[in-house]
Structure 1
Amino acid sequence: MLQKFALAVKTKTIEFFAEEDEEEEEERAVGVDDPDACPAPEEVITGQRVVVLRPDPAPRPDPETLTAAALAALSSFQAAYLHLQTAHSPFLSDAVLSADRAAVSHLRRLSEVKRLYLSTGPGPSPVPTSALPLSFLLEAQVQDNQDLLRTFEALVDRLQSDIDRKDAEAAALEKALADLDGSGVRLAHRLERACMPAEERVESLLTIGVFDSVLRDTCRVTHRFARVLIDLMNLSGWNLGVAANCIYPDVNFTKPGHCRYAILSYICLGMFGGFDSYDFCDDGDGVDMDEIDVSIRRTDSLQQFIEHSALDPLELMRDFPSSDFVKFCKKKYAKLIHPGIESSLLRNSAIGESLLGSLTPSSPLYESFASMASSIWMLHKLAWAYNPVVKIFQVAPGTEFSMVFMETIVPKVDKLHMDSGSSSRPKVGFTVVPGFHVGKTVIQSRVYLDDSEQTL
């Protein structure tokens, strides 16, 4: 009967306290051994004292275990939140959703740990709870370590991004530093030249490269004026071949179109006439150089070159009609374009006869001629700033071609002449652009070769 009752209430322990009577113990022992002596269910057993204990309440979670689990869940939530922030910059939708789910999961776990912790207070538990399994703590620790590892990976990625950005900034700063170093070197050279004495400063500026550069600009604007003049001659019905034959009657041109080089030569040699005179006078009435001190001549010439380079020649001719440059322009224009030529060029124009032969703004040659004259004027002033003075030379027609002092103005023709089997050197037909001696350096004269002995 007691055994059935104990099974019904699921008792944990049953204690029997019997009287210490040997005879009763022997009878109880015999009764147990004899199956026929089993008491009937209605039999009341006397002399026994039975104590029934209720089941013990379920063991409550250890506070230390709960604390460790709470810390692990909090650390995991912190790592998940960091991943959530990282996924926003740049924005990655999949990473944001994954980090959000992980953060919510850790918050739920933290809430469960809180509920378990509150259930460990004094008195009976308000909510029936079960013992916190050991796997819960181990799982929390594993999850915590994984989240820490992912946190470190995110931090490493962020640090690597910062390193790349710093490297790019460092490269940009290095380039800026190199540019500043180059600027510093140039400024140092300028300061060094500025601190030089006047004589040394002039010497540092006056190089062969400077003169050659100004000469090239002069040739460019001279070609431009020649094209304008040739276009006017064509419009006026001029025969360029006849005009070229009048300038150089005994020259055989390789091609009919090469007769324009004769007109270009006429312009260049006319404009450069008197270049070896200090005041650019080609009539023999120039200033005597023995009366001019070298340093004064060089300083004055360089100053005029610098000042003139900053001026507009058209404004100079309009505002200062009595200046030396304007006088130079009028004299050269009158020599190149005399009244007969201009009258022929402008026969269909409404310009009055009184304006022919004079340099006026109404002339179609006015602007291009002013630019050409200004460039040649600057080249002359620069030449007289050198010591010794730059010397000009030209090659006489019929002279044998020399590669030291000459270059042909038509390179392909030059190559044909050089490759031909003729034993004699080609002859110069005429000089197009004069050459110059800058100290011991020769700037070659540009010539046109006579084609009298060549057939193409």
Structure 2
Amino acid sequence: MEQPLNQSALALAPNKSRLARTFAKVLHARAATRAAATLDKTRKTKSTEKTKHDIDHEKIRNQAAMDAFIAKVFATISSVKAAYAQLQYAQSPYDPDGIQSADQIMVSELKTLSEFKQLFIKKHLDNNEKAHETTQLQAEIQEQKNLLQMYEITTKTLDSQKKLKDSEIIFLKEKLEEANKENKLIERRLNSSGQFSPQDQKLSLSSLSPKSFVLFLQQMRKSVASFVKFMMSEMEEANWDLNAAASSIQPDVIYRDTSHICYAFESFVYQVMFDGFNNESNVASSSEYFFDKFMELKSIKASEYVKWKPNSTFARFCYSKYLRLVHPIMEFALFGNLNQRNLVGAEKTPETTFFSSFAEMAKRVYLLHCLAFAFDPSKASAFQVRNGSRFSEVYMESVNEEPVKSSPEVSFTVVPGFKMGKTVIQCQVYLT
């Protein structure tokens, strides 16, 4: 038989149920909180890992971009070096098209380098503007310093060119003064006699005499002396040590006057210009042949004749003698380049005062050469005396005052002497 329920037990049952539900809710809330915290932590971990992965990937991309950028810079520099090598190659033999092409390539590649520089600076300023503003300013300051240095060099170059032009003007004034003196002399002769003197009349092969040769020999000496004076002034402008240069030409010579070093330079010019003079005696050419060459060239300006007949005997004479007389080091020191040498090497005529002066001097030497062999090709020759030889008035005359001692010695031959058959024309020597 069922027993009746206790009232107090009925009263406790609902309370226990509510307590259990509350406890369950608390446990559920805690579990949910833990799950949420775990999920949030997992999400943060994944986010951190993702961010780190993105940063590493970004670094790799930036490094690859920088490597590509540097590779482009080096490739452009290599292109500049290649273009410079092409420019050097085109200098000798002279190739104007090759020089222009190489110059265009160099300008283009240098412009590309400048663009790379701007891109590099802009990129770094975007990434770290404050830190790289200083870098850009320093780079700009350095660039301005480089520009200033370039302008200073340009100024020095222009100043050197101005001095060169001033020297050329002085030389041309002297030539003009000399020409005016000759014109006045001719006018006086015309006014006094109404005709030219015999030495000014038109030469003919039958009228040639040793006096005719001596007359042109004097003109040739003046021309060589004028060219040497001009050359020495150019060397002085280029800061050459003229005394050292003279010693290298004629060593162990003691000059009585410092101005006498010009004789050393003259001796060098004569040695080069008259080298091979006697070889014409081996050529089967007649007196008429040499006289015709003499008459053809006598009244024409040398540089114009070379342009007119670049393959003529005289033109080839000018080319070969210039390349031997004007050393590349000298030409580069005088003019800062080898343009004249390259043109002459290509058998072309430089349009400069220096070459015109040289050509006129070469013309006088060539005319004397032709005139000597117009007498008798088999019996004409030039001669010099050995250094240290005793002075003899029969074969020599002194360019300086003779020493006090009774038997002066020859330091060196300045102007060669000539033999034409039985006729001897003295050489000029410098005496110790």
The answer as to whether partners of 1:330 and 1:358 remain within 8 angstroms in 2 is no
| Structure 1 position 243, deviation (Å) | 0.4
Which one-letter code corresponds to 2:354 in the other structure? L
Q: Deviations over 1:126-185 (max 9, x none)?
A: xxxxxxxxxxxxxxxxxxxxxxxxxxxxxxxxxxxxxxxxxxxxxxxxxxxxx89x99xx
What is the root-mean-square deviation of aligned Cα atoms in Å? 2.7
Q: Deviations over 1:387-413 (max 9, x none)?
A: 353221011111111111111112xx2
Distance 2:322 2:226 in 1: 16
Residue in 1 that maps onto 2:425: 443
Residue in 1 that maps onto 2:391: 401
Distance 1:446 1:303 in 2: 29
Change (3 A) 1:310 1:355: closer
The answer as to whether partners of 1:383 and 1:389 remain within 8 angstroms in 2 is no
Residue in 2 that maps onto 1:361: 350
Q: 2:374 aligns with which of 385, 397, 412?
A: 385
| Structure 1 position 311, deviation (Å) | 2.2
The answer as to whether partners of 1:244 and 1:259 remain within 8 angstroms in 2 is yes
Which one-letter code corresponds to 1:325 in the other structure? F
The answer as to whether partners of 2:290 and 2:371 remain within 8 angstroms in 1 is yes
| Structure 1 position 363, deviation (Å) | 3.7
Which one-letter code corresponds to 2:425 in the other structure? I
Which one-letter code corresponds to 1:395 in the other structure? V
The answer as to whether partners of 2:387 and 2:411 remain within 8 angstroms in 1 is yes
> How is 1:290-309 mapped onto 2 (pairs within 5 angstroms)?
292=284, 297-309=286-298
Residue in 2 that maps onto 1:272: 274
SS of the equivalent of 2:392 reads coil
Gaps of 5+ in 1: 1-178, 195-200, 279-286, 451-456
Residue in 2 that maps onto 1:245: 247
Distance 1:242 1:354 in 2: 26
| Structure 1 position 299, deviation (Å) | 1.1
Residue in 1 that maps onto 2:261: 259
State which structure, 1 or 2, has the greater radius of gyration over its C-alpha atoms: 1
Residue in 1 that maps onto 2:153: none
The answer as to whether partners of 1:394 and 1:435 remain within 8 angstroms in 2 is yes
| Structure 1 position 364, deviation (Å) | 3.7
Residue in 1 that maps onto 2:408: 426
| Structure 1 position 312, deviation (Å) | 2.2
Distance 1:272 1:313 in 2: 18
Q: 1:339 aligns with which of 310, 328, 336?
A: 328
Distance 1:270 1:428 in 2: 20
The answer as to whether partners of 2:291 and 2:374 remain within 8 angstroms in 1 is yes
Residue in 2 that maps onto 1:371: 360
Q: 1:329 aligns with which of 318, 329, 333?
A: 318
Which one-letter code corresponds to 1:366 in the other structure? F
The answer as to whether partners of 1:333 and 1:358 remain within 8 angstroms in 2 is no
Change (3 A) 1:260 1:275: same
Which one-letter code corresponds to 1:257 in the other structure? S
Distance 2:229 2:342 in 1: 20
Residue in 2 that maps onto 1:155: none
Q: Deviations over 1:341-371 (max 9, x none)?
A: 1111223xxxx44444654424441111111
Change (3 A) 1:363 1:261: same
**Off by >6 Å, runs of 4+ in structure 1:** none
Which one-letter code corresponds to 2:239 in the other structure? G
Identity %: 33
The answer as to whether partners of 1:221 and 1:372 remain within 8 angstroms in 2 is yes
Q: Deviations over 1:240-263 (max 9, x none)?
A: 110011011121111222111101
Distance 1:249 1:288 in 2: 34
> How is 1:169-180 mapped onto 2 (pairs within 5 angstroms)?
none
The answer as to whether partners of 2:297 and 2:305 remain within 8 angstroms in 1 is no
Q: Deviations over 1:231-288 (max 9, x none)?
A: 001101111110011011121111222111101111111111111122xxxxxxxx84
Residue in 2 that maps onto 1:231: 233
Distance 1:442 1:256 in 2: 32
Distance 2:338 2:256 in 1: 39
Gaps of 5+ in 2: 1-192
Which one-letter code corresponds to 1:263 in the other structure? F
